[in-house]
Amino acid sequence: MNTTILPAKPNHPVWQRFVLLSALAYETIGCLVGAALLIATPDGRSLGMPVASLNGFFPSYLIPGILLLFMSVINALAFISVLRRKPNDWLMAGLAIGGMTIWFWVEIAVFQQLHWAMAMWGLPVLLAGLVVIPLFPRPVLQRSLLMCGIISSVLYVAINIIVPTQWGEYDSVTQTVSELSAVAAPTRMLWVVLCTPYTFLVIAFAVGVRMASGESRKLRWVGTLLFAYGALGILWPFAPMHLRETLAAGGGTISDTLHLTLGAVTEVIYIVALIIAATLGGRFGIYSIATLLLLVVFGVLTFLESPEVPTNGSTPFIGLWERINIGVFLLWMTVFALKLMNRKKGLVLPDRPHQHRQ
């Protein structure tokens, strides 16, 4: 007689399930009510939000309302899955909370401001996210965190394509990336909003690297340095540079000094990470050395033109050199993530080849 072994129901702590169920129920109701109001009144009058607040991203609130209705369904399904202790409750909860996180991120980017209502509905999502993470099976969690290294790189490239289009006079070849988030720059708010997820994705990737390191101290050091690199991203919005015209007129402040300091520390951190990665040996070690050399070359080219920025002088290729430099590092992050994800036996890279001798 054939017997089928059903997967065991997850046995999560009571408090964990209570917090998660409360957040999912809260978001389900909120999405459902919001969707109904937006679909019924696409001009936004029922919520006191004029269509102009969408900044041209949508002609009305009809499409956002339909998307919000879809999100209410996802949250409801996740609620049922967690309530009934389904084996895949971690997946459904992750989809719901991840989807809501993306929703609020896009919402802030579209409105280009943080409204109290966003915080009222967004903070429970963050709380639920902290509860969901421990529910993931360790192999799935590790692979998901490593995937963040790829997603973060793709996101940063996309941001560098999208944001400059919102500033007609900006030139990506002759102007630095930092000028997009400069004080009084028309793209400052959009840049800060879009780059916030990049910061946390890098931090998540760094945690994944440490999880995948096993007994490799070198990998743990690389993960720690990448964590520090990501964590510095939290400080960037509080240390913006000023526009060139302001700097040339003597309007620079301590913020500009902090901006340069953060830039220097950031570069030192990921250069040291690359040096350690290069000592891992093999083809990835050679690739890390090549990446390091390219960073030095284009870093020097960027540095040679940088003194002209505060004087509003000519910088014909500073933006190009800097973006190549950034692209080289982002590519390295992507290759590094793929390398770790494709390794067997815990996804660990050896410190030295002879460690695997019989």
Segment 314-342, tens digit of pLDDT: 999 999 999 999 999 999 999 999 999 98
- The parent domain of residue 339 ranges over 137-350
Structure tokens belonging to residue 12: 């999560």
Do 127 and 159 fall within a single domain? no
| pLDDT value, residue 10 | 59
Average the pLDDT over each of 184-198, 291-305, 307-321, 335-349 and give the range with the smallest value. Answer: 335-349
- Does the residue 267 lie in any domain? yes
Residue 150: which pLDDT band, with cuts at 50, 70 and 90? very high
Do 132 and 175 fall within a single domain? no
Last residue of a domain, one of 93, 116, 136: 136
Residue in 237, 255, 233, 238 with CA at minimum distance from that of residue 246: 255
Question: What pTM was computed for the model?
Answer: 0.76
Do 81 and 63 fall within a single domain? yes
**Between 91 and 211, residue with greater pLDDT:** 211
CB atoms within 10 A of CB 263: 17
Segment 33-66, tens digit of pLDDT: 999 999 999 998 888 888 888 878 888 999 999 9
> Residue 183, SS3?
strand
| pLDDT value, residue 9 | 56
Do 227 and 305 fall within a single domain? yes
